[in-house]
Structure 1
Amino acid sequence: MRTLLSKLTVLGAVVLAGVGAASCTDLTETPYTEVTEANFKPTAADLAALMAPAYTPLRGIWMSWYGMVDFQEETADELLTPVRPNGWYDGGVYIRLHEHKWDANQGQPNGLYSQSFSGINAANRVIYQLESGVIPVDAATKTATLAELRALRAYYYTLLLDNFGNVPVVTDFTATELPEQKTRQQVYDFVVKELTETIPQLSAATGTAMYGRINQYAAKGILARVYLNAGVYTGTPQYDKVLTLTQEIMAANKYQLDADYSTPFSRTNDKSSQEIIFAVPYDAINATQSNFHMKTLKPDLRFVFNMQAQPWGGSASNPQFIDTYDKDDARLTKTWMMGTQRDAQGRGYDFKEFVPSMTKTDFDNGYPVKKYEIYQGETGASDVDYPALRYAEVLFMRAEALLRTGQADAAAALVTQVRKRNFTGAAAAKATVTGPDLVKGSVYNYGWYDTDGTVKDKAGGTPTFNGGADIQYGRFLDELGWEFAIEAHRRTDLIRFGVFTTKKWFNHVPNGSFRTLFAIPQSAIQTNSKLKQNPGF
């Protein structure tokens, strides 16, 4: 929705243009309507507007075209973008993601790389302005603002750490030398150091003032997420640190699970959700980058929702993932658009679970995503803010750390707590899971999905076990899938559970263990001779 941060971003763009701009004309008259470097002197009142552009790239990173919610799911086992009657081959871009055949010119991860460094550069700029006295503020404000900018910069680096591993670490806005590439271990160490040092200095405030910004609890959640994946990043798990940070967030009693699973994904989630710890604000006026709904809704659904733009009808559910749900789990129908959808004239539009292949699929094959509220009169830009960190994730991170340290019953209690809002009435008893449940394998029927809907081993490629019974803690992986579907978690989760490069799903077969990272963009290598490509590419 249209929040203070989204309004400040517009102002911030004007302010920053003034800070670095010279006059656009040779006339000698005083430019009364133009902000120039000579007449603009930033003050403490301008600070929020000056900071806003450091957050802006997050909008392009998450719910936009080629955003993280797109390619983190496309490379995993929940979401597909097959060829449709209206196109969607797109030079094979989505088939390459599905088949794990991307290269150094793949648009989606390349966009994440460039936008992350755009955010890092913007944060470095304001850090420099604060440290050099260009922006005059009192000592307390300076300390808190520097901490927030450093934490935000570290957040961008967590995305680079997870997706690329070996990237430059840039902290000096005035540096003129090409930055050196760091190892994944060094990037991890930098992120941990920055978040650990800034957490005590960050605001503990919640609510409107810090909505869409990194406060102390957001930073703790982000660091807990890094520690949860430390075994992947460095080879050394850090589950005890996950337990410490999640306990601190829970003990603060600032957030809680929403009663309805859909509330964190509603159009009014900036006001109605008590679960969102960190959000990326979007709106249809000032922050218009969110268009994932256009990619998944079929063209005829414009009549059902009286949309002001015709959706494109590309992405839909992987039928193998749909088959993992308990049919009484409310998350199934709150995440996926199932059953007949009717417009104002009563005309019905149906969707099938079955998807024949990645290369030949009709409009009604696969369920569109409805998790992020689709509302009447929606345009090509959604008003729904992206919940980048939810309290449910804090509970699940703690549960996984407990599970992996031999405390399965305690883990099950937390998972049950999250499940309760999704199993009601006669199905309420299904909400309860036990420790022995969570240590079982996955119910996902991994294997090649043939054009007749059967799952089997495909000839050729790396032989894999059909099904998921051999996955350690596979049932917990299933729980992650059901709770966080289409939130850009799945690729990271599959890697952590050893599934991403070992299992077959739909028309995907394993294609190399190096695929746990994306290639360093070729464009970045061409502009920085100090960069080396990740192994395998």
Structure 2
Amino acid sequence: MRIIITITACFSLLLMQSCLKLDQEFYSEVTPSTFFKNKSDVYAALYRPFTHARWYVGEDRWRLQEYTADNFAITTKGRHWYNGGENERYHYHRWTPDDNWIWGTWRGTLMGVALCLDVKSDLAQLDYEKLTMTAEDQVAHLAQLDALIAFFYMRGLDYFGGMPIFTSLEGESLPRNTDEELFKHIETLLQNAIEALPEKAQDQETEGSLYKVAAAAMLAQLYFNAESYISKPMYTEAKAIATDIIDNKYGTYSLDGDWNGPHGFNNNKSPELLWAIPSKFKYLQYDWFYADFYHYNTRQYFDQDMGGNNGAHLTPSRQPNGNVYTSFKLGKPYEKFTAGDVRKQPYVYNGGDDYEGMFIIGPHKTPDGRPINGGEEYKDKPLTFVDQVGRFSEVGPDKKYNSIEQLPSKMSEGEENTGVRLVKVPIPNIGNNDKRWGAYNPVIRLAEIYYILAECHFREGNLAEAASLVNQVRKRNFADQVDPNPVTSTNLDKYRLLDEWSIEFLGEGRRRTDLIRWNAFVTESWWDHQPSQSAHLNRFPVPTQAISGNNNLQPNPGYN
């Protein structure tokens, strides 16, 4: 594993052209004392694992959380996106140990742990005072790495259950630890990090570091999902930590007054972010999301130079005939937004840092109002994005279907304009490309802590308090903070609570975890997905490539 880290580090250095100096001094053995010359060297090493974390929270990890759940799908669109049936396997819960998203996630999890351990080993050996730093700085840096190790392992526990626990880079081909052992390891790392990490100064902008509040929030997340992870409910423990965070025991934070404050171009200034990873000026940070979601011609809508692959969209709220689905309760994400919710309007970039809405729906037009045409089923015809799935282009005289009522709606029946598209990360026009992907990636928001506390109260039967906490977040999404559909003790049940998680955190890579916590992931229906009733699917299989490289690994129960 150290060899892998060394290769990765050297490749990164080459990219930064740090090896092009002609007056280099060579050493027979590179040690921390010879490599680290100043404070900048320390921070460059410290933040290398955070770069990995920034990648880790997107791409395949995001896909496993969202495309397997009820809010998103990648439908086949004519000749596009069947992908050998891959997208249907995830949607219908038929994945296998050979699927790439699963292997990439297993590998990415342990790579994150290895990167942290490698840096931790080096920083622990340094004399910080010689580098004009303090012993307190060293303690905080090592605690950040411990918290980041806990973050990677907690995601691994969520996806796979027990994983091999590495505490150094010396071991290899380690067997899997049990779920309980990994849970305890994460818990200990976070408890120690909470004690060692400093609080962020009041009004200090987010810059990507892990502070005391982030470790506390991760521990709350661990306890909140403990029943899923180790079959032991720990909602009381989660509730206590969430209460302390909201009461500012770990630093001063507050809900943002604007719905897009935690997501916008300047979200590093949002008081709601407990941990966010910088991505400013990294112009490819969200290219995977752009490619997945947006039509080939959506570049005209954004007035941008980027092309999309037109794959993903929200699962449909409506049948082909236009009626809202009523035969299932989950999914239907666009319809779950209350009328008047400012987020529900189409995305429009108004210039500077100003934008509104977070969806692409309805007639597709350029910023100056010209129709945008399709290139497949609607070639040379104006595109209109619909909250439905069906081959509407095949309805009519001498076509496959005589009427819309005959249209099937399922994964194989998409078109190029199928589905509502999400714009959670704001996109400027090409004239303001210095802002493109400048927003930080929110990993933990205070709104999540409010919802954790609300759900804990709900599970204790305190429905009024649960409703109040959710409404404190909801109200910012309506004019004058007047919510026409607030949560109340009479309308709050399991499904309303799951809806609220869906609405507030749509597209933030957590939906599968929420469904599993409510025993809904394999027991509930949504759109064309039928429940398997197979509990082993709450975890992904240990990848074939992992087992083939380590004979000490055992597959998860239920998988061959």
CA offsets 1:110-160 (integer angstroms, 9 cap, x no match): 222211211111110122113334876643222211111111100100100
Alpha-carbon distance in structure 2 between the residues aligned to 1:249 and 1:35: 49
**Aligned with 1:533: secondary structure?**
coil
Aligned match of 1:392: 447
- Does residue 435 (structure 1) correspond to residue 432 (structure 2)? The answer is no
Aligned match of 1:262: 260
Kindly tell me: are residues 479 and 288 of structure 1, through their superposed partners in 2, closer, same or farther at Cα, counting changes over 3 Å?
Answer: closer
- Does residue 297 (structure 1) correspond to residue 294 (structure 2)? The answer is yes
Q: Is the 8 A contact 2:42 2:123 kept in 1?
A: no
Alpha-carbon shift at residue 289 of structure 1 (Å): 5.6
The one of 532, 535, 539 aligned to 1:517: 539
Letter in 2 for 1:62: V
Normalising by structure 2, report the TM-score.
0.80
Aligned match of 1:383: 438
**Aligned with 2:529: secondary structure?**
coil
Alpha-carbon distance in structure 1 between the residues aligned to 2:125 and 2:491: 57
5+ residue gaps in structure 2? 1-7, 318-331, 346-356, 372-382, 391-409
Alpha-carbon shift at residue 16 of structure 1 (Å): 7.8
Letter in 2 for 1:409: A
Alpha-carbon shift at residue 431 of structure 1 (Å): 5.0
Aligned match of 2:399: none
The one of 217, 221, 237 aligned to 1:221: 217
The one of 460, 469, 491 aligned to 2:512: 491
**Aligned with 2:443: secondary structure?**
strand
Q: Is the 8 A contact 2:76 2:82 kept in 1?
A: yes
Letter in 2 for 1:510: P
Letter in 2 for 1:394: I
Alpha-carbon distance in structure 2 between the residues aligned to 1:267 and 1:86: 36
**Aligned with 2:274: secondary structure?**
strand
Aligned match of 1:178: 173
Q: Is the 8 A contact 2:144 2:193 kept in 1?
A: yes
CA offsets 1:81-131 (integer angstroms, 9 cap, x no match): 101246211222211110101111222232222112111111101221133
Q: Is the 8 A contact 1:42 1:134 kept in 2?
A: no
Percent of aligned pairs sharing the same letter: 28
Q: Is the 8 A contact 2:77 2:416 kept in 1?
A: yes
The one of 342, 355, 362 aligned to 2:415: 362
**Aligned with 2:442: secondary structure?**
strand
Q: Is the 8 A contact 2:263 2:424 kept in 1?
A: yes
Aligned pairs, number: 481
**Aligned with 2:484: secondary structure?**
helix
- Does residue 129 (structure 1) correspond to residue 141 (structure 2)? The answer is no
Alpha-carbon distance in structure 1 between the residues aligned to 2:10 and 2:286: 19
Kindly tell me: are residues 243 and 345 of structure 1, through their superposed partners in 2, closer, same or farther at Cα, counting changes over 3 Å?
Answer: closer
The one of 152, 159, 174 aligned to 2:155: 159
Alpha-carbon distance in structure 2 between the residues aligned to 1:536 and 1:59: 32
Alpha-carbon shift at residue 52 of structure 1 (Å): 1.2
Q: Is the 8 A contact 1:61 1:111 kept in 2?
A: no
Aligned match of 1:533: 555
Normalising by structure 1, report the TM-score.
0.83
- Mapping 1:414-453, distance limit 5 Å: 414-424=469-479, 428-430=482-484, 432-439=486-493
The one of 324, 339, 352 aligned to 2:362: 339
**Aligned with 2:523: secondary structure?**
coil
Kindly tell me: are residues 109 and 476 of structure 1, through their superposed partners in 2, closer, same or farther at Cα, counting changes over 3 Å?
Answer: same
Alpha-carbon shift at residue 314 of structure 1 (Å): 0.8
Alpha-carbon shift at residue 393 of structure 1 (Å): 0.4
| Aligned-residue CA RMSD (Å) | 2.8
CA offsets 1:154-179 (integer angstroms, 9 cap, x no match): 01001001011021011112x14422
Alpha-carbon shift at residue 327 of structure 1 (Å): 2.2
